[in-house]
């Protein structure tokens, strides 16, 4: 199944609408969708290295705009939408204690969540719900998301075919590492928010 998904995404990289789908996934992931855009960005850059910087730009813009949507969900629709999303990720009950100190370290929290596998949507919603200064949120989001996506694109651009062969030979291992990092992020945030 993992191989079929990988092959499908690799094929999508050549599709005329690939950039649009990358944007949509990045947007959705930053506000409510559970699948991170990295999964689509990596094979797209591997399949078409000449578009690495374009793809990095598309995914960054989509992610930041999606983050703004998440911020607005937290700010204006926390009880109706934001709280259920936080509950889905097991963060609802701990949010009250967390929100008391959030604004003091908000820029660092947004930046850290933006460069780690931790679900970014939790932080975008929390930023709006706690009233974190919007410009602080925006600049931290731009810095974090562009750092991650341009670093990925740059590494893949520089080492293209060997990276592709490494990933394809060790696809299950790469997926396992990603999941460990993702769940590690959940566990870390659980102990940070107590």
Q: How far is it, in rounded angstroms, from Cα 119 to Cα 113?
A: 7
Domain count, the chain: 1
Coil, strand, or helix at residue 27? helix
Question: Tens digits of per-residue pLDDT, 129-150?
Answer: 888 999 999 999 999 999 889 9
pTM: 0.75
* Residues 141-181 pLDDT 10s: 999 999 889 988 988 888 876 776 776 666 566 666 666 66
Rounded CA gap, 71 and 114, in Å? 14
**H helices present in 131-170, as ranges:** 134-169
Which position has the token pair 């991650």? Answer: 148
pLDDT of 179 = 61
- Using only the alpha carbons of the chain, give its radius of gyration: 17
DSSP annotation of 69: H
Residues 74-109 as b or e (16 or more Cβ within 10 Å = b): bbeebeebbbebbeeeebeeebeebeeebeeebbeb
Q: Which structural domain, as residue segments, surrounds residue 187?
A: 2-192
Backbone angles phi, psi at 22, to 5 degrees: -60, -45
């Amino acid at each position: 199944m993992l191989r079929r998904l990988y092959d499908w995404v690799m094929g999508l990289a050549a599709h005329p609408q690939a950039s649009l789908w990358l944007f949509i996934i990045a947007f959705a992931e930053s506000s409510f969708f559970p699948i991170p855009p990295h999964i689509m960005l990596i094979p797209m850059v591997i399949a078409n290295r000449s578009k690495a910087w374009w793809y990095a730009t598309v995914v960054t813009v989509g992610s930041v705009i999606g983050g703004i949507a998440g911020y607005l969900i937290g700010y204006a629709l926390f009880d109706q939408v934001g709280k259920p999303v936080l509950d889905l990720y097991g963060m609802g009950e701990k949010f009250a204690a967390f929100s008391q100190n959030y604004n003091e370290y908000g820029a660092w929290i947004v930046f850290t969540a933006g460069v780690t596998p931790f679900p970014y949507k939790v932080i975008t919603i929390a930023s709006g719900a706690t009233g974190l200064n919007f410009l602080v949120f925006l600049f931290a989001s731009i810095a974090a998301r562009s750092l991650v996506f341009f670093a990925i694109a740059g590494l893949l651009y520089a080492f293209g075919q060997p990276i592709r062969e490494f990933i394809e030979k060790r696809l299950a291992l790469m997926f396992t590492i990603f999941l460990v990092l993702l769940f590690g992020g959940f566990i870390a945030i659980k102990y940070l928010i107590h």
